Structure 1
Amino acid sequence: MCVSMSLSTTLSDSQATSSQEPTTVEKLRGLPWSIFSNAANTVFAQFTFFGSVFVLFLSDLGMSKAQIGFLLSLLPFSGLVALFIAPAVARFGYKRTYITFFTLRKFITAGLLLTPWVLSRYGRETMVLYVTLIVAGFALARAVAETGVYPWIQEYIPNSVRGKYSATNSIYTTLTGLLAVGVAGFTLGYFSGLTGYMVLIAAGVFFGLLSAWAATFIPGGAPDRSPGRQASLMRDMLATLRDANFLRYLMGAALITLGTVPMGSFLPLFMQEQVGLAASHIVLIQSGTLVGTLLSSLAWGWAADRYGSKPVMISGLTLKLLLPVAWFLMPRHSPLSLPVALGIAVVVGISDIGWAIGAGRLLFVSVVPPDKKMAYMAVHYAWVGVVGGLSQLAGGWLLSLSANLQGQVAGFTLDPYTPLFALAFILLLGCLWLLLGMRADNVYGVGQFAGMFFRGNPFLAVNALVRYYAARDERAAVSVTERLGQAKSPLAVDELLTALRDPRFNVRFEAIISIARMPPEDRLIQALIDVLNGTELALGGVAAWALGRMGDPRAIEPLHAALDSPYHSIRAHAARALGALHDTSAVPILLARLPVEQDKGLQMAYASALGNIRAREALEPILKLMYATQNEGARLELALSVARITGDEHTFVQLVRQMRDDPGTAAAQALAAFRRRLQRLRSGPEAELAALEAAEGAFARGHLHEGAQRLAALLHQLPSTWFEEHGGQVLAECARRLEESGESRQEYLLLALHLLPLSLTPP
C-alpha cells in the first residue's frame, strides 16, 4: 500500500510538468536513476521469468518441454497488443504507462509464491493452469509497459552518449546479475524441493518494486494529446511497412531471434540432460555470460559512439555464429564440461552485449525517426513479440520431434538438441547477410572497423587511450600523445585530433609529430593541412614537415600553396615536404627560385627538395650553391642532394659514416673497390691504374692532402667518355675543387669516391 501511494504521488507530480521534451541536462541527470532501476530489475529478472531459475522451476514442477516452450512464448507473443494500444499509451503518457504496468507485473509475479499450495491442494493440472494464468497476466502487463518504455528511452537518452550509457548500464546490471546468479545458485543448492525457488521469487518481487520506484525519477515520457493523434499513429504504423530499411531491420531481428532464443531457452536443459551438470552449476554458467558482458561493455559502447552502430552490431553477430558450433562440440560428462561451458558463456556475454548495443543504437539513432517513434516502436515491439513467441514454440516443437535422436557421425555426438544448434547457425548466417545491407550511421564500414584491430599496435593504442584521459599535467599529456603515435593504430585517430586542439602548445606540437608517425588517414591529413594554413606559425612549418613524412599525395596541393607563404620557415618546410613526396610537378618552381633566392635557409630547402626528387637539371645550381656555402653541415647536405641525383643515397651515407671514423682507410677502400671495377670493365688502362694505386696508397698511409691531390690528378686523367654524363659532370667539378682545396672540402672527396664506381660505364 505504501509503495503504491508513493508511486502515485511521484507519478502525478512528474506528469504535471510540461509536455515538452526535457533538456539535455535534465536527461543526463536522470540517467543514474535509469541505471539504478535497471540494476534492481536485473535481480527481479534473474530470480523470476528471465533466468535459468524459471526454466528449472518449471521443469521441477513436472512440465514437459512443449509446455515450457508454450509458457515462455506467452512473454513475447503478448507484444502484439502494442499495435492496438499505441494511441492510448501516447495519450496516457509513456512514463505513466510504463511505471503503472511495470509495477502491476511485480504484484502479478508474487502470485507464483502460491504455486506449491495450489499444487498440493488442487493437483498438477490445476497448478499448470494457474502458472499459465500468472505468466499470461505478467506477459500482458509487461507488453503494455514496454510499449510505453521504448519511445521514452529514445527520448531521455541523448544520442551523443547512447553507446556510453548502454555500456555503463550494462556494467552495473551485469555486476548485479553476477551477484544475483551467485545467490540463486547458492539458494538452490541450499534448499531442497521448491523452497529455494520461492525464496528467490519473493526476493525478486521486492527488487522489482524497488526498480519501479527508481524509474519515477527519470524525466520525459509526457502524454501526447495532440488533436488527431490516434489517426496519425495508425497512418504512421502503416507507413512503416514502406520503409525498406526498417523492414530489413525487422527481418534481421526475426532471424536472430528464431536462431538464438530457442537455443538459449533450452540450454539449461541441454546442460542438465546431455552434458551432465547439476542445477546449481547450470545457474552458475550464467555468471560466465555476465563476465563476458562486464569485460566488453565499455569497449562496445565506446566503439558504437565513435564508429557507429552497424560495425558493432555486425561484430557481435559474427561472434554469435561461433556459439552453436561451440555448444555442439563441448565435452560431455567430463571434468572439463563446466570450465568449457563457462568459457563459451563468456563469449556469449561478449557477443550478446555487442549485438545489443549495436542493434539498439542503430534502431534508436538510424532506423526510427524521432517524430514517429510511437508508431515505429509499436510495430517493432509487436513484431519482435510475435517472432519471439514463435521461436519458443518452434524450439519446443523441434525438441519434441528430435526427442529420439541419438548416435554419432564422424565422431560427433548427435542428440535431441543438435537440430536446434544447426538451425541457429543457419539463421544467424542469414541474418548476417541481410544486415550487412543496412543503412546506418557508421563512420567506418564493417571491414574498416574490423581492420582497425589488425593495423598498428591495438594493445598499445588502447593502453594509450586510457592514459590519455587520465593525464593530469602537460608532461603526462605530451608523453601519452607520443605513445598514441607510436601505436600507429586507427584507434588513436580521434585522440590525436583532440590533442591537436589542446590549449597546451607542447601537446599540440607533440600531436603533429605523432600524427606524422601514423598511416595516412583523411581526417589526419586534413587536420595537418588546416594547421599549415592557420595562423600559428610555430606549428605551420612542423605541419608541413609532417605532411611530407606521411607521404600522402593529397598534401601536394596545399604544400604548393604554402610555397608562396610570406613566412620563410613555412616555405622552407613546404619545399622539403614536396621533396619528400617526390613531387616532380614542383621541379620547375623550385628550379626557378633556387638561383635567385637570397635566403640561405630557403636555398638549402629548395636544393634538398630537388635532390629528393632526383631532378638532374638541378645539378649545376646545386653544385654552385655547394661551392659558395661556408657551413660544413650545409655543404654535406648539398652533397647528399647531388648523390641522390647521380648516385645512391644509401651507399653515400654509409661512406660518410666510414669517413668520420677513419677517413684515410675509408677512402683507400673506396678507391680499391673502384680499381677492381675498372679492371673488370676496362682492360689495359695502365697509366690510370698506376695513378689510382698511388692515390689509394696515399690515403692508406693517412696522407689525406696527398691523397686528395693525387685523386684530383686521376680525375683529370680519366677520360670523360668512361662515365655516365651527369656523373662525369660531378666528377669534373670534384677534380677542380679537390685540386683547389684538397681534403679541407671533404664533400668533394666524398662525392668523388662515391661516384667513381657508380658512374663508370662499360665500353
Structure 2
Amino acid sequence: MTAASELTDYAKLRRMPFYYAYSVLTATAVLCGVGAPLVLFAAELGIDKDRIGLIGGILPLFQILGIASIPVVLRFGTKRLSALALLARYLFLLPLFAAPMFIDAPNVVFLLIFGAVICYAIGRTLSEVSVIPWSQEFLPRLVRGQISGNLAIAYLPVALIGSLLIQRWLDGQEGIERFYPVFAFGIIVGIAGALCLFGMPGGAPRPTTRTARDALAQLKVPLRDRNFLAFLYSSGSQFLVHSALAVFLLLFFRERLGISSGQIVLMAALIPVGSAAGSYAAGWFIDRHGTRAIRITLQSLQVAMLLGLPFIHPELPVVEFLAGMVFFLFGFLVQGAMVAGNIYMLNYVPPADRESYMALAYSSDGIFGGGLTVIAGVLVQYFEHNAFVVGTTQFGGYEVLFFVTALVTISSAAVFALLKEEGATGVRDFLGQFSTGNPLRALWGIQRSSSFTSEQRRRDLVYGFGGTGSTLAKDELISALSDPSFDVRHEAIRALGRLPPTPKAIRALETILDYEGLIELQYAALDSLGQLQSRPSAGKIAGFLADANPLLRSRAARSLGDIRDETHLPALRQMLDEDRDIDCRLAAASALGKYRDRDSIPALVAIYCAQVTDTHAVSEPRSKVVLLAIAKILGIEEKFARNWRREQRMPGYCLPGLLTRLAQNIDSVDTAKRARRVALEAAAAELGTGPTAASLSALRALRPDLAASRHADALLVIALLDGTTAIDNAHPALMILLAIAARQVLRQPTGSATK
C-alpha cells in the first residue's frame, strides 16, 4: 500500500474487531493444540525430556525460514499468505491422532509428533512472518500498547474457561485417547481464526520489480543497523527464556512437586491470566513512557523469580499456591517484556523496509528460541543425572536451567537499555513515579478519568491528582489543559504545581504563559512553575516583571523568589524601588526575602515604615510581608513566625518574655551595659497590650552593644533599628522581630554569618 492510500486511524480502528477475533481464536487453538496438552501428551507417550525439548524448540527454530519467505510475502501480499498458511498449519496436526497407535515404538511416536510439529511450524512461520510487518500497517501507532493489552484481556476468559474444561476432561478420563477432543477443538478454532484475517485492512502485494534475489539482498539494510542488531539479541534472548520455560516449567512442577497433569493444565491457565495483566499493564505504560523502562523493570523481576524457583520443594505448606503464583508471574513478567519488545520494533522499523527488518527479527527469535531451547533440553537431561548440592539445595537439571535463564535475562535487559528510543522515560524516572506520593490513588483516578464525567467531576478528579503527589497522573493533567472547561484547565495547572517536577509538565506549563489575555491561567502557571522551582523557566517568568497587569507582575516576582535564580535578582531590586503598584513592590520584597538578599535591607525597611505609618486598613497586614522578608534574610523566619502567632493568640504574653531573654544576653559587669539591661528588663515587666514606646526605646539603647558585636548580621540589625527611628510606638510584630534579631547578634558575637 502506498503512502497516498494509507488508511486513517479511524478506518483502522473500525477493523480492530477482526484482529481481536483472529488473535483470540488463534491463541485458543495454540492452548489446545501445541500448548501444555502437547507437552503432556508426549510425556505420557514416554518420550524423553531431551526429545520433548527438541519438539518444543521446533516451532521457534523454524522461524529462521522467515528470511527465505521475504520474496513470497512481497509477491502474494501479507493478507493472503498469512491467512492461507494459518489455515494449512492446523491440518498438519492430524498425525497426532495416529501417534498412540505406535505407543510400543517410542521412536515412531517421536517421529510422528516431530514431523507433525515441523509441518505445523512451517505454516506458522509463513503466517506470522506475514502478520508481523502487516501489523505495522493496520495498528495505529499511538495506541499499540493499548491494543496489545486489550488483546490479552479479551483472550483471558477464553483461556480460563478453556483450561478449566481441559483439566476436567483430562483428569476425568483415562487413556491417551482423552487428548483427541482437545486437539480436534484446537484445529477447528484455529481455522476460524484464520478466516478472520480476510476482514482486516491492507496486506496487499507490494508493488516491486525486484527479483527474489534482490528482495533477499535487502537484508543488508537491517544487518548494517547496529541498533537493530542489538535489539535482535535482546529480543531473541528474551524469547529463549519464554520458549524454554514454557516447556520445562510444566515438567518441573510435574516431576519435582508431583502435581498431576490435569492440575498443571489448570494452573497453567494462570499463565494467560498473568499474560493478560502483564500485557495490559505494559501496554498502558508503554503508550505513556516508551518501552525501555517497562521492559527492563519486568526483566529485573524475572531474574528475581528465576533465582527463587530452585527453593520451591514439596515440603512447603503452600506449594500449590506458590506454583500458581509462579505460572502467573511467568505470564505477567515475560509476556509484558515481550510486548515491550514487539512495540519497540513496530515503532523503530522503517515502513519502506519492514519486511526485511521484521523477517530478520522473526527468524532471529527462532534461532534463539528454537535452537537454544533444544540445548536447554540437553542441559536439563544432563544435570538431572549429574546433580550437585549447594548448601542445602540440590541443583539438578531444572535448577541449573533457571540459573542460566536468569543470566540470559540479565544480558537481554542490559542490551535493551542501550537501544535508541526517542522520548522514552528512563528506568530511574519511571520507578521514581511509584516512590513519590500515592501511586495507587493516582492509577485509580486515571482509570476513572477515562469515563464520561461532568465538568464538576472532572474538576474534582484533577484536584485529586494534585493531592496524590504522583507523577503517574501528569499525562492526565497535561491533557486536562485542553479541557473545554476553564475551571478544569485552571485546576489542572494548579495540580501540576503540586506534583514532583518533570520536563514534560514544565514544558506544558510554559505553553500556558503564552496564553495572552487569559490572565487567570497565566497567573496559575506562574505560580505552579514557581512551586516546581523550574530554573529553566526563570527567563520566561522574568519577562512578566514588565507586564502591564500588576497581578502577573507580582506573581512573577514571587515565583522568581521560589526559584532563586541569581540572574534576575537585579530586576527584583528594581521592582522593589520603582514599581508603581505597591502590591508588586511587596511581591518583590517577598521574593528578595526568599533570595536572602542582604543588600535590600535598607529598601525593605523604608517600605515598611511607609506602610506602618499609612492609616489605610490594608497597610498594617502589608507591613508584615516586609517584616517576614527581613526575617528570612536574617535567618530567623521560623522564630519570628512562631512568636508572632503566639502573640496574636495571647496578646501581651509573648513579647515581654522575648525582651526579658534578650536582656539576659547583655553583660552586666560593665556599668553602662548593666544600666541598659536593667532598663530593658523594666520595660519588659511593664509591657502589656498598651504602647510600646518605652520598650522600643530600651531596645534602641542596645545599639552600642550591637555595634560592638562581630556577628555577620550585626550591621543589618543596626540598619533595621536606624531605619525605624521615625516610629515612636512600634507594632508588636516589629518589636518581636527586633528582639529576636538583637538576641541572635548578642548571643553569638563571634559566630559565623547567617547566610
Mapping 1:589-668, distance limit 5 Å: 589-629=571-611, 630=614, 631-646=619-634, 648-668=636-656
Task: Find 1:70's aligned residue among 37, 45, 54.
Answer: 54
The 3 A distance-change label for structure 1 pair 643 and 378 is closer
Whole-Å separation in 1 of the counterparts to 2:678 and 2:316: 87
Contact 2:658 2:736 in 1 (8 A): no
Whole-Å separation in 2 of the counterparts to 1:385 and 1:715: 87
Q: Is 1:688 aligned to 2:670, yes or no? A: no
- Residue 25 of structure 2 corresponds to 40
- Residue 757 of structure 1 corresponds to 743
Task: Find 1:729's aligned residue among 719, 724, 748.
Answer: 719
CA deviation after TM superposition for structure 1 residue 682, in Å: 6.7
Whole-Å separation in 1 of the counterparts to 2:574 and 2:266: 78
Whole-Å separation in 2 of the counterparts to 1:661 and 1:682: 38
- Residue 500 of structure 1 corresponds to 481
**RMSD of the TM alignment (CA)?**
2.6
The 3 A distance-change label for structure 1 pair 63 and 557 is same
Whole-Å separation in 2 of the counterparts to 1:643 and 1:274: 72
Whole-Å separation in 2 of the counterparts to 1:44 and 1:450: 37
CA deviation after TM superposition for structure 1 residue 259, in Å: 4.1
Output one character per residue of 1:487-546: Cα deviation in whole Å (capped at 9) or x when no partner: 222222212211222221111211222122122222222222222232111221222222
The 3 A distance-change label for structure 1 pair 716 and 243 is closer
Q: Is 1:567 aligned to 2:549, yes or no? A: yes
The 3 A distance-change label for structure 1 pair 406 and 125 is closer
CA deviation after TM superposition for structure 1 residue 18, in Å: 12
Whole-Å separation in 1 of the counterparts to 2:494 and 2:669: 48
TM-score (norm 1): 0.91
Q: Which moved more, 1:198-207 or 1:261-270?
A: 261-270
Whole-Å separation in 1 of the counterparts to 2:8 and 2:723: 77
Output one character per residue of 1:535-586: Cα deviation in whole Å (capped at 9) or x when no partner: 1112212222222222232222112211111221111111122223334443
The 3 A distance-change label for structure 1 pair 313 and 752 is closer
Mapping 1:111-150, distance limit 5 Å: 111-116=95-100, 118-119=101-102, 125-150=107-132
The 3 A distance-change label for structure 1 pair 663 and 703 is closer
Whole-Å separation in 2 of the counterparts to 1:19 and 1:602: 57
Q: Which AA in structure 1 matches 2:70? A: A
Whole-Å separation in 2 of the counterparts to 1:110 and 1:275: 33
SS in 2 for 1:417: helix
- Residue 230 of structure 2 corresponds to 248
Structure 1: any 5+ residue segments left out of the alignment? 1-14
CA deviation after TM superposition for structure 1 residue 660, in Å: 0.8
Q: Which AA in structure 1 matches 2:219? A: M
Output one character per residue of 1:702-761: Cα deviation in whole Å (capped at 9) or x when no partner: 3522xx121133134334353422212222444541x2xx36x44433333333313436
Contact 2:53 2:374 in 1 (8 A): yes
Q: Which AA in structure 1 matches 2:245? A: M
Task: Find 1:398's aligned residue among 362, 379, 383.
Answer: 379
CA deviation after TM superposition for structure 1 residue 362, in Å: 1.1
- Residue 412 of structure 2 corresponds to 431
Whole-Å separation in 2 of the counterparts to 1:643 and 1:73: 75
- Residue 10 of structure 1 corresponds to none
Contact 2:664 2:677 in 1 (8 A): no
Task: Find 1:383's aligned residue among 364, 368, 371.
Answer: 364
Whole-Å separation in 1 of the counterparts to 2:661 and 2:694: 17
The 3 A distance-change label for structure 1 pair 584 and 135 is closer
- Residue 553 of structure 1 corresponds to 535
Whole-Å separation in 2 of the counterparts to 1:716 and 1:21: 84
Q: Which moved more, 1:340-349 or 1:461-470?
A: 461-470
Whole-Å separation in 1 of the counterparts to 2:594 and 2:111: 87
- Residue 193 of structure 2 corresponds to 211
Structure showing the higher helix proportion among its residues = 1
Contact 1:75 1:389 in 2 (8 A): yes
- Residue 433 of structure 2 corresponds to 452
Contact 1:712 1:735 in 2 (8 A): no
Whole-Å separation in 1 of the counterparts to 2:571 and 2:119: 83
SS in 2 for 1:551: coil
The 3 A distance-change label for structure 1 pair 257 and 539 is closer
SS in 2 for 1:517: coil
Task: Find 1:284's aligned residue among 255, 258, 266.
Answer: 266
Whole-Å separation in 2 of the counterparts to 1:592 and 1:432: 55
The 3 A distance-change label for structure 1 pair 680 and 240 is farther
- Residue 74 of structure 2 corresponds to 90
Contact 1:672 1:696 in 2 (8 A): yes
Whole-Å separation in 2 of the counterparts to 1:682 and 1:176: 95
CA deviation after TM superposition for structure 1 residue 244, in Å: 1.1
- Residue 464 of structure 1 corresponds to 445
Whole-Å separation in 2 of the counterparts to 1:365 and 1:383: 18
- Residue 59 of structure 1 corresponds to 43
CA deviation after TM superposition for structure 1 residue 124, in Å: 5.2
SS in 1 for 2:10: helix
Whole-Å separation in 2 of the counterparts to 1:46 and 1:483: 43
Share of identical aligned residues, percent?
26
Whole-Å separation in 2 of the counterparts to 1:387 and 1:563: 63
The 3 A distance-change label for structure 1 pair 130 and 582 is closer
Q: Which AA in structure 2 matches 1:80? A: I
The 3 A distance-change label for structure 1 pair 491 and 734 is same
Whole-Å separation in 2 of the counterparts to 1:415 and 1:643: 72
CA deviation after TM superposition for structure 1 residue 27, in Å: 1.4
The 3 A distance-change label for structure 1 pair 587 and 152 is closer
The 3 A distance-change label for structure 1 pair 66 and 623 is closer
Q: Which AA in structure 1 matches 2:32? A: F
Task: Find 2:163's aligned residue among 181, 192, 198.
Answer: 181
CA deviation after TM superposition for structure 1 residue 371, in Å: 0.8
Task: Find 1:478's aligned residue among 444, 448, 459.
Answer: 459
Whole-Å separation in 2 of the counterparts to 1:149 and 1:359: 16
- Residue 4 of structure 1 corresponds to none
Output one character per residue of 1:163-201: Cα deviation in whole Å (capped at 9) or x when no partner: 111111111123322222111111111111123211111
The 3 A distance-change label for structure 1 pair 301 and 399 is same
TM-score (norm 2): 0.92
Aligned pair count? Answer: 736
The 3 A distance-change label for structure 1 pair 287 and 333 is farther
The 3 A distance-change label for structure 1 pair 239 and 681 is farther
Whole-Å separation in 1 of the counterparts to 2:662 and 2:83: 92
- Residue 753 of structure 2 corresponds to none
Output one character per residue of 1:434-453: Cα deviation in whole Å (capped at 9) or x when no partner: 22222234521233223332
Contact 1:647 1:754 in 2 (8 A): no
CA deviation after TM superposition for structure 1 residue 650, in Å: 1.0
Output one character per residue of 1:28-52: Cα deviation in whole Å (capped at 9) or x when no partner: 1121211112111222111111x21
Whole-Å separation in 1 of the counterparts to 2:743 and 2:198: 87
- Residue 13 of structure 2 corresponds to 28
Contact 2:589 2:625 in 1 (8 A): no
Output one character per residue of 1:444-484: Cα deviation in whole Å (capped at 9) or x when no partner: 12332233322333222212222332361222222221222
Whole-Å separation in 1 of the counterparts to 2:567 and 2:75: 69
Contact 2:497 2:528 in 1 (8 A): yes
The 3 A distance-change label for structure 1 pair 373 and 204 is same
Whole-Å separation in 2 of the counterparts to 1:126 and 1:248: 41
CA deviation after TM superposition for structure 1 residue 621, in Å: 2.9
SS in 1 for 2:92: helix
Contact 2:609 2:724 in 1 (8 A): no
The 3 A distance-change label for structure 1 pair 566 and 334 is closer
- Residue 711 of structure 2 corresponds to none
Contact 2:149 2:280 in 1 (8 A): yes
Whole-Å separation in 1 of the counterparts to 2:237 and 2:193: 31
Output one character per residue of 1:29-83: Cα deviation in whole Å (capped at 9) or x when no partner: 121211112111222111111x211111011122222332333333223223323
Q: Which AA in structure 1 matches 2:66? A: A
- Residue 704 of structure 1 corresponds to 690
Whole-Å separation in 2 of the counterparts to 1:18 and 1:503: 34
